[in-house]
Amino acid sequence: MPKVLISDSMSNIAQKIFEKNNITVDVKTGLSEEEIIKIIPDYDGMVVRSATKVTKNIISAAKNLKVIGRAGAGVDNIDVSYAKENNMIVMNTPGGNANATAEHAFALIMSVLRKIPFANETTHKGMWEKKNIKGNELSKKTLGIVGFGNVGVRLSNLVKGFDVKVLVYSKSLKSRKEDYPHVEDVSFEELISKSDIISFHCKATKEGKPLISKDHYKKMKKTAYIINAARGNIVDEKDLNDALNENLIAGAAIDVFSKEPAKENILFNNPKIILTPHIAASTSEASVVVAEMVANQICDFLLNKVQKNIV
């Protein structure tokens, strides 16, 4: 009977699906690399979110592992090429948490525009800052979306009722542009200079090089906001902090960090930045969908050799 390890916390629907398919499943979360290395030879499959780093050392020790499943989209916590070299397949659950992530990006956009965190904090303290809080409206603004996969597309659809101009920078948009008449396909430079809000929904570069540099900030509107709910290294944290301190842009909202969990970070306590702890995909609804998808895919692979959503 195949055996699967779930090493990150996720909906228990995954466990139930494995059990229903007579696959032995162990849920062991919060393990160190050394602890995983000790137990991993027992398993045929492994399920992770983003907390477990599936390193070369873990893959080398995983003598029976055939499949690594990511309950979510990003696989940057998994050494995918080394896993492939070692005849393992890696699968994810594209689209499973796209709406959750897009809605969080939207919530961050509205929060920066209407200064919700500051208003909340001061009102709780009885400070009544009504005169000092003047927000901006999303309507009639230009939203720049970088990356147009499941999340970027969903965000572009979510803002449809807001009379927003949507600019998109995506290498793959040209070939499928007719499916998205509500967005404009632009260069990165054009998006940077024309957008009031720039929201990142792309993968990080392989080399970890940030997509936005100091020079880009100088070309942005001084009233512009940056939203990053994709991956931490897409926006260099020091450059962003400098750009805000030099008033090159108005503010930012960040859900992802160069190092997670973020216990220390240059962005902490900058009043122009709203921070959330990588929770864009963390909704009750999405966590069930991704757990269900990954468990079904792994069962299908281990029992019937069906390969779905391979990265």
Question: Which are the catalytic amino acids?
Answer: 231, 260, 278
| Nearest to 133, CA basis, from 151, 155, 111 | 111
| Nearest to 74, CA basis, from 111, 39, 52, 49 | 49
Residue 97 or 228 with smaller CB distance to ligand 3PG: 97
Residue 151 or 224 with smaller CB distance to ligand 3PG: 151
Residue 178: CB atoms within 10 Å: 6
Residue 50 or 297 with smaller CB distance to ligand 3PG: 50
CA distances, 258 to each of 23, 169, 182, 220 (Å): 36, 23, 33, 23
Q: Which residue is nearest to ligand 3PG (CB)?
A: 72
Least distance in angstroms from the C-beta of 243 to ligand 3PG: 24
Q: Which residues bind ligand 3PG (CB under 6 A)?
A: 49-50, 72-74, 97, 278, 281-282
Residue 48 or 267 with smaller CB distance to ligand 3PG: 48
Least distance in angstroms from the C-beta of 250 to ligand 3PG: 26
Least distance in angstroms from the C-beta of 287 to ligand 3PG: 8
Least distance in angstroms from the C-beta of 144 to ligand 3PG: 20
| Nearest to 109, CA basis, from 169, 197, 195 | 197
CB 9 within 8 A of CB 285: no
Task: Specify the residue for token string 């525009």.
Answer: 113
